[in-house]
């Protein structure tokens, strides 16, 4: 029996599960092994970044992956803890409970539940467009700033010192003041781990290629670099009793699968976490959907943004009730999942099984794992987030967009991640309102011998002293309605022989109620001055709305299909008008 399409839309796994076969399982299983190897040290490290016990990183990589496999539309997106969301979680929960305070773990779980509920609601209401308010410069600036902030925050683990603070200034001041307390055993472990991981990331693949190692094996060894670092430093710390010499280690990690339970709901904490949860949801969704769409395009597959919201919401709800914290789709692990040959979301479910096995059997082995190694893993991972070239590109292209990016970066460093992204979003919206409140407009004339009309300041065109054509290159709404009136009145004041004004509308996609009132005011004022008001090249949807108003019945002129039709009409009405070519 065929599965109804409506059911497939709600449960996307029904679409690919019907054609799942042995080869798909082998491909997904291979990808799952590689991602599991990569995810184990990452999960531990990102939990530490969030200020949480290391096992919570593992818990956040089990049930959420299964939930996404059921509801997600991306075949290769890999969900789990990521650096930016971990940092935002630490900042949000730390501001409410205090770092390491009583109830910190439950507050992190509660944050995941709130974020999951928001994502699920946005998806069911088909409100994925809200993520569009996060402009690319703001996202790029926030991620780059967060990458640097995260890397600097992990230096305390490399140095073996205690430093507090959630902004760059406080962290740097703390590092400088505590520098004399550096533990040199920890520093040695951290530097060796950093050097090894950087060498693996940037030099191992070319070196192996020179000796003709197969590409799949090269990829596996590069991605397994953090695992080798974990094994090597754990053995060294255990063999040389480094914990007794002040090297901080992970310590005891509980063995077993997470228990299914709801955290305690404190309404004061819930209210305090609402805004951070909303920003985490938006940031996580934007990061996830960007990766998912990029990978889907390579295989000519389709991603449904609203279904992705539902899937990410389900993943976060699953994390919140299974001892984890906020998750989203990760760029690095998704690329690894894709390159390793994952065919379906079942690869994520198989990865969850691998992580579950690790929590059952491997956690006792990481007792002596130095936190400096995990810090090195985080630093190497987040440095890829910093994009200085994008900053230079946006600076050259748009100073206004760069101002939003710079504001996001500075406030992320000086105030905090929530303030940084919130201010960036607000400034982007304000800049958009400012730009569209003063839209580009042009007085246009006819290109000689053609039916084309162009800006009189850019082209040698024909104009008529009794006809004025104004082209507005923006939709008309409340913010720019008065601006349009001012430009029309200023233009007619300089032309005493004017008889016709044509508003050319090829770029007008919408006219709201405020702009409609301005058009009515322009029509009335021009009529009093003995000038006929026309429109040309009005788009169908805009025309449909105008027909539902009284404007067209009171319009003194006509609505022309093309500007050339308006030009011919006025020429016939005023046969004595002589075209003149303006001087430039």
Domain spans of the chain, in order of start: 22-429, 441-573
Residue 426 φ/ψ region, left for φ over 0, alpha for ψ in the -120 to 50 degree band, beta for the rest: alpha
pLDDT of residue 581: 39
The answer to whether residues 484 and 554 touch, using CB atoms and an 8 Å cutoff, is no
Question: Which residues neighbour 455 within 8 Å (Cβ) at sequence distance 6 or greater?
Answer: 442, 443, 444, 471
Going residue by residue through the chain (584 aa), what tens digit of pLDDT does each one get? 556 666 666 777 777 787 888 888 998 998 898 888 888 898 999 999 999 999 999 999 999 999 999 999 898 899 999 999 999 999 999 988 877 777 899 999 999 999 999 999 999 998 878 777 778 888 888 888 988 999 999 999 999 999 887 789 999 999 999 999 999 999 999 999 999 999 998 899 899 999 988 887 887 788 788 889 999 999 999 999 999 999 999 988 888 888 898 988 889 999 999 999 999 998 899 888 888 888 888 887 888 888 999 999 999 999 999 999 999 998 878 888 888 788 899 999 999 999 999 999 988 989 999 999 999 999 998 888 888 898 999 999 998 899 989 999 999 999 888 888 888 888 888 888 888 899 999 999 999 999 999 999 999 999 888 899 999 999 999 999 999 999 999 999 988 889 999 999 999 999 999 999 999 999 999 999 999 999 999 999 999 999 999 999 999 999 999 999 999 998 888 665 444 433 32
The answer to whether residues 43 and 62 touch, using CB atoms and an 8 Å cutoff, is no
pLDDT of residue 176: 94
Rounded Cα gap, residues 520 and 528, in angstroms:
12
**pTM for this model (two decimals):** 0.80
pLDDT of residue 579: 46
Describe the crossing of helices 331-339 and 267-298 by its angle, rounded to 10 degrees: 30
The answer to whether residues 349 and 13 touch, using CB atoms and an 8 Å cutoff, is no
- Give the single-character DSSP code of 260: -
Which segments of 291-383 are extended strands (E)?
328-329
The answer to whether residues 442 and 471 touch, using CB atoms and an 8 Å cutoff, is yes
Rounded Cα gap, residues 166 and 48, in angstroms:
14
Question: Which residues neighbour 195 within 8 Å (Cβ) at sequence distance 6 or greater?
Answer: none
Rounded Cα gap, residues 48 and 231, in angstroms:
18
pLDDT of residue 577: 46
What CATH number labels 441-573?
3.30.750.24
pLDDT of residue 119: 96
pLDDT of residue 2: 56
Q: Classify 459 as helix, strand or coil.
A: coil
pLDDT of residue 85: 93
């Amino acid at each position: 029996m065929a599965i109804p399409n409506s059911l497939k839309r709600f449960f996307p796994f029904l679409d690919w599960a019907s054609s799942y076969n042995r080869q798909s399982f082998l491909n997904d299983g291979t990808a799952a092994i590689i991602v599991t190897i990569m995810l184990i040290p990452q999960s531990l490290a990102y939990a530490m970044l969030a200020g949480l016990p290391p096992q919570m990183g593992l818990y956040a990589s089990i049930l959420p992956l299964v939930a996404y496999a059921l509801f997600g539309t991306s075949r290769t997106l890999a969900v789990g803890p990521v650096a930016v969301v971990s940092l935002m979680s630490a900042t949000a929960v730390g501001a409410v409970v205090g770092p390491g305070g009583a109830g910190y773990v439950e507050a992190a779980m509660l944050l995941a539940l709130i974020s999951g509920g928001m994502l699920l609601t946005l998806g069911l209401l088909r409100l994925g467009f809200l993520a569009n308010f996060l402009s690319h410069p703001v996202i790029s600036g926030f991620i780059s700033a967060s990458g640097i902030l995260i890397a600097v925050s992990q230096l305390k683990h490399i140095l073996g010192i205690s430093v507090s603070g959630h902004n760059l200034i406080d962290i740097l001041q703390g590092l400088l003041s505590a520098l004399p307390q550096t533990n040199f055993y920890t520093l040695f472990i951290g530097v060796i781990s950093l050097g090894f991981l950087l060498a693996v990331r940037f030099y191992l693949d070319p070196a192996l290629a020179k000796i003709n190692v197969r590409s799949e094996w090269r990829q596996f060894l590069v991605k397994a670099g953090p695992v080798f670092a974990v094994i090597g430093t754990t053995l060294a710390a255990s063999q040389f009793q480094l914990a007794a010499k002040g090297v901080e280690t992970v310590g005891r990690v509980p063995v077993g699968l997470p228990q299914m339970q709801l955290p305690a709901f404190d309404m004061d904490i819930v209210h305090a976490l609402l805004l951070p949860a909303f920003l985490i949801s938006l940031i996580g969704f934007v990061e996830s959907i960007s990766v998912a769409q990029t990978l889907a395009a390579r295989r000519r597959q389709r991603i449904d943004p609203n279904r992705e919201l539902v899937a990410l919401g389900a993943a976060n709800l699953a994390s919140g009730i299974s001892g984890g914290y906020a998750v989203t789709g990760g760029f690095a692990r998704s690329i690894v999942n894709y390159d390793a040959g994952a065919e379906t979301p079942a690869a994520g479910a198989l990865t969850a099984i691998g992580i579950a096995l690790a929590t059952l059997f491997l956690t006792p082995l990481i007792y002596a794992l130095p936190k400096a190694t995990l810090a090195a893993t985080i630093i190497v991972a987040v440095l890829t987030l910093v994009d200085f070239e994008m900053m230079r590109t946006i600076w050259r292209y748009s100073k206004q967009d760069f101002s939003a990016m710079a504001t996001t970066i500075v406030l992320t460093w000086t105030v905090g991640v929530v303030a940084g992204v919130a201010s960036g979003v607000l400034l982007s919206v304000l800049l958009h309102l400012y730009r569209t409140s003063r839209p580009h407009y042009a007085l246009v004339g006819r290109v000689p011998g053609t039916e084309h009309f162009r800006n009189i300041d850019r082209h040698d065109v024909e104009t008529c002293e009794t006809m004025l054509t104004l082209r507005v290159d923006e939709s008309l709404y409340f913010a720019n309605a008065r601006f349009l009136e001012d430009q029309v009145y200023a233009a007619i004041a300089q032309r005493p022989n004017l008889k016709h004004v044509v508003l050319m509308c090829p770029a007008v996609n919408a006219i709201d109620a405020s702009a409609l009132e301005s058009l009515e005011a322009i029509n009335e004022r021009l009529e009093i001055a003995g000038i006929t008001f026309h429109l040309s090249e009005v788009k169908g949807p805009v025309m449909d709305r105008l027909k539902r108003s009284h404007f067209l019945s009171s319009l003194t002129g006509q609505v022309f299909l093309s500007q050339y039709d308006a030009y011919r009409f006025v020429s016939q009405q005023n046969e004595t008008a002589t075209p003149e070519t303006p001087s430039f």
